Structure 1
Amino acid sequence: MDLQTAPAVNTGLLIRRGAAEVFEAFADPAVTTKFWFSKASGRLAPGARVRWDWEMYGAHAVAIVKAIEPGRRILIDWGDDEEGYTEVEWTFEPRGDGETFVTVTNSGFSGTGDEQVAKALDSIGGFNLVLAGAKAWLEHGLQLNLVPDRHPDALVAGWTG
């Protein structure tokens, strides 16, 4: 496939919590592990290089923090040296009383046109699940297990969560 424009994905969701709390949910792995990855080497901070693990799949990625604006924005490169990195940006827009609209943009996919489109489609599906899981956790204290339940046949043998 010959692409005229490189694909980028953009998704968003309203979370009924304040921007500072929603920002922290993505910056602090003690919270993020409730709805996305299972383990992290540290929190997101300016200049940090953080490893995120999805132990249920035996997978990991590295997040290289490019910019942090507390309560407003996170910008990272994420991926690994083998597959390459893409850029991910979260913005946190306060709305009303105790509401935040979270937007996630992912760009910089590599490969052939077909491979870029496939990676973009996978990305938007994944980030939609992450946002839904964050919403359920932050608004209702529910851990939905959306990420491990997305690919149940790919779970590491004996993984129990």
Structure 2
Amino acid sequence: MQLISKATLQIQKPIAEVFEGIVDPTKMTKYFISESSGPLETGGELLWKFAEFPDRYPITEIQLEKNRSISFVWDPETVVNIVLEALPDKSTIVRVTENGKDLNDENLKWLINNTGGWANFLACLKAYLEYGISLRKGAYEFMRK
């Protein structure tokens, strides 16, 4: 049995704006990561840094379908898929799945943490795109101690 982390949220912005908010590092650093070595581009590889953690995370096997989907690997056992769906009111549904881990106690903890992490990503994306604010600012300072 494979575990799948899932999170979904509707964002009140057009699909092209949501897509760019995810692939453009100048935008992503305003709501989710603190640094990126480049944009998400098909076939590319890059590094992400989060302000709260000392490590840099390699992002590999990047695949994009403009204004439709984004996929990448940042854990050798999993694939992240982000699918965008335009709605008639010009809003966008964003669905994130991350799968590939086998069912065991350690991976159940991963499932809980990553499901919460992707829900946080979506909330941060929504807050930034709709209101221009960063929900991460000051949210994880306690983790540095």
- After TM superposition, the score normalised by the length of structure 2 is 0.92
8 Å Cα contact 1:75/1:87 also seen in 2: yes
The alignment status of 1:126 with 2:117, answered yes or no, reads yes
Partner of 1:97: 89
Work out the CA distance in 2 between the residues paired with 1:65 and 1:34: 24
Of 108, 114, 120, the match for 1:117 = 108
The letter of the residue matching 1:21 is: E
Q: How does 1:52-91 map to 2 (within 5 A)?
A: 52-79=48-75, 84-91=76-83
> How far 1:61 sits from its partner (Å)?
1.0
Contact kept? 1:13, 1:102, Cα under 8 Å? yes
Report the number of matched residues: 145
Q: CA deviation at 1:107?
A: 0.7
Q: Please give the root-mean-square deviation of Cα atoms over the aligned residues, in Å.
A: 1.7
Residue 85 and residue 31 in structure 1: after superposition, are their counterparts in 2 closer, same or farther (change >3 A)? Answer: farther
AA in 2 matched with 1:7: L
1:155 aligns with 2:126: no
Shift of 1:73: 0.2
Q: CA deviation at 1:55?
A: 3.1
Q: Select 2:126's aligned residue among 131, 135, 147.
A: 135
Which protein is bigger by CA-based radius of gyration?
A: 1
Unpaired runs of at least 5, structure 2: none
- Structure 1 residue 57: Cα displacement: 1.6
| Long gaps (5+) in structure 1 | 157-161
Q: Does 1:7 align with 2:10?
A: no
Retained in 2: the 8 A contact 1:44–1:65?
no
Deviation at 1:116, TM superposition (A): 1.0
SS of the counterpart of 2:2? coil
CA distance in structure 2 between the aligned counterparts of 1:59 and 1:35, rounded to whole angstroms? 18
The sequence identity of aligned pairs, in percent, is 29
CA contact (8 A) 1:15 1:100 kept: yes
Supply the AA of the counterpart residue of 1:10: K
Matched residue SS, 2:85: strand
Kept in 2, the 8 Å contact 1:45–1:65? The answer is: no
Displacement of 1:60 in angstroms is: 2.0
1:48 aligned residue: 44
**Letter of the structure 2 residue corresponding to residue 64 of structure 1:** T
Instruction: Kindly provide the amino acid, as one letter, of the partner of residue 134 in structure 2.
Output: Q
